[in-house]
Amino acid sequence: MAKQNTFTRAKKVLAGGVSASMRLHPYLDRPVYVTHGEGPWIYDQSGTQLLDFNNSNGASMLGHNHPEVHEALLTAISEGPVAAGETEAHVELAERLCKMIPSAERVRFASTGTEVTSVALRLARHVTGRDKFLKFSGHFHGLADAFLFEERDVFHSSAKPIAVSGGIPTSYAYDARIVSWNDRDAFYEMMETHGREIAAIICEPVWYNAGCVPPDEGFLQLLRDSADEHGCLLIFDEVLSGFRMAPGGAQDYFGVTPDLTTLAKALANGMPLSALVGKGEIMEELAPGGPVAHSGTYSGHPLSIAAANASTRILSKKKAYNDLNKTASWFYEQLQETFDAANLPVRVQGLGGRFGLYFNREADVRTSEDAATNDHRLNAEFVKGCLDQGIYFHAYRTAGPPGHSGITLAHTREQLGDALTVIRDVAGKLKA
């Protein structure tokens, strides 16, 4: 496991000892130092092989170091990549995304998910001339100031929108309107009261940042209809749900098309790349054609574009998802049976390549309130027990909803079967 002195050294030179806050594993109180990954495996500093259920926070959808992505990267490096250079490969990737993603008529590449959710909101504010937006409690849209509000702080409790970071202008709270996921009445009431001031409704169409909370039947269509009725945009943040259960992501799977969509993570199988895609007339408001600012030295970096072309050639095939979805459903059922047999109250919810485990819960998790009931003490004991036996689950916080976990196209039934044996053992020793 982690060499003690690496973290000791890190704390003297890296802020908080890490390069991203969520790499400090909240249950272990240290990062898991990784040397490399191969398929479904990661290897830690001491050479221990771990079956990876985090998959680069969901980015390595094909598994780590996928041979076709590896080859594409080597070729791109050998050609002498030029950052800030536009290439034909950008056009090839955009053409493929326009075929794959129902809402994609135009594409703009960027580097991170945070960047494209911010640009999506900027575009929505520009085309509607409104400032406010509606988000769902606990949905994660990156770390831009506008989105860092919660109706109910997940760490403390409070009645009004509250910043979940230091340094956020208090006035920004007035722009965020927040309701609980899948709560039709709360949503309806909010739109009746504030709909005409709202520039955009933004959501994770499958709320994976709380494990896996799918939309109730008809809920996404309700958002679509309400956005149309009130003259605002519908933005699907598919940074995590994109390419997860269908080639065109959640909008393809559920048959509801937003105006704008944000993509990242699986797009380039772990290389830094994001995309904002959407309706042509809205997207053409982006500079240079329109007045809405967006550009970046590293936007659509040629190495990331090469990785994304290789990844999406694979992810554009329906067959990939037939296989993935079958394996995933089988695994989630087996997981549920394993916890049930161990008499441990854990609710398993999964869709496509990502799932959530809700500790000390038997009922369905549907709303933001449901997701927040996760028992983090039990969750932590489970994660530590699994890690001791070669299985890696990440966690993102110690209160509120649980973190998200996943499988990739590289995880085989045999490996998952072995993992179930370990999970049976660990679960059998835990007490709710």
Ligand X SMILES: Cc1ncc(COP(=O)(O)O)c(C=O)c1O
Helices (H), 264-395: 280-283, 302-315, 318-341, 368-371, 376-388
Indicate whether 235 belongs to the interface with ligand X (CB under 6 A): no
Question: Binding of ligand X at residue 251 (CB under 6 A)?
Answer: no
Task: Give whichever of 141 and 230 is closer to ligand X, judged by the CB atom.
Answer: 141
- List binders of ligand X among 11-50 (CB under 6 A): none
Query: With respect to ligand X, which residue has the nearer C-beta, 136 or 339?
Result: 136
Q: Is-contact 134 178, C-beta < 8 A? A: yes
204 is a site residue for ligand X (CB under 6 A): yes
Query: In this structure, how many other beta carbons lie within 10 angstroms of the beta carbon of residue 156?
Result: 8
- Does residue 353 contact residue 247 with C-beta atoms inside 8 Å? no
Checking phi first, is residue 319 left (phi over 0); if not, alpha (psi -120 to 50) or beta? alpha
Is 112 a binding residue for ligand X by CB under 6 A? The answer is yes
Contacts of 351 (CB under 8 A, 6+ apart): 206, 212, 214, 244, 245, 328
Taking contact as CB under 6 A, which single stretch among the options 134-142, 221-229, 291-299, 324-332 is the one that binds ligand X? 134-142
**CB closer to ligand X, 353 vs 385:** 353
Residue 408 contacts ligand X per CB under 6 A: no
Among 240, 275, 387, 407, interactor with ligand X by CB under 6 A: 240
- Residue of 40, 63, 142, 248 that binds ligand X (CB under 6 A): 142
Q: Minimum Å distance from CB 147 to ligand X?
A: 8
Distance CA 75, CA 78 (A): 5
Q: Which is nearer to ligand X, 256 or 423 (CB)?
A: 256
> Please, what is the minimum distance in Å from the beta carbon of residue 354 to ligand X?
10
140 touches ligand X by CB under 6 A: yes
| SS3 (DSSP) at 227 | helix
Q: In the numeric block, which tokens belong to residue 323? A: 């296989």
Instruction: Compute the distance between CA of residue 186 and CA of residue 125 in angstroms, rounded to an integer.
Output: 23
Asked whether position 141 contacts ligand X by CB under 6 A, the answer is yes
* Six token digits for residue 307: 């990785």
User: Is residue 237 at the binding interface for ligand X, with CB under 6 A as the rule?
Assistant: yes
**Residue with the closest Cβ to ligand X?**
113
Separation of first and last alpha carbons in the chain:
27
Determine the 3-state secondary structure of 157 from DSSP: coil
What residues from 301 to 360 belong to the interface with ligand X (CB under 6 A)?
Answer: none
Q: Name which position in 148, 264, 315, 344 contacts ligand X (CB under 6 A).
A: 264
Residues 90-109 that bind ligand X (CB under 6 A): none
- Check residue 203 for interaction with ligand X (CB under 6 A): no
**351, β-bridge pairs:** 354
Residues at the interface with ligand X (CB under 6 A)? 57, 112-114, 117, 140-142, 204, 209, 237, 239-240, 264
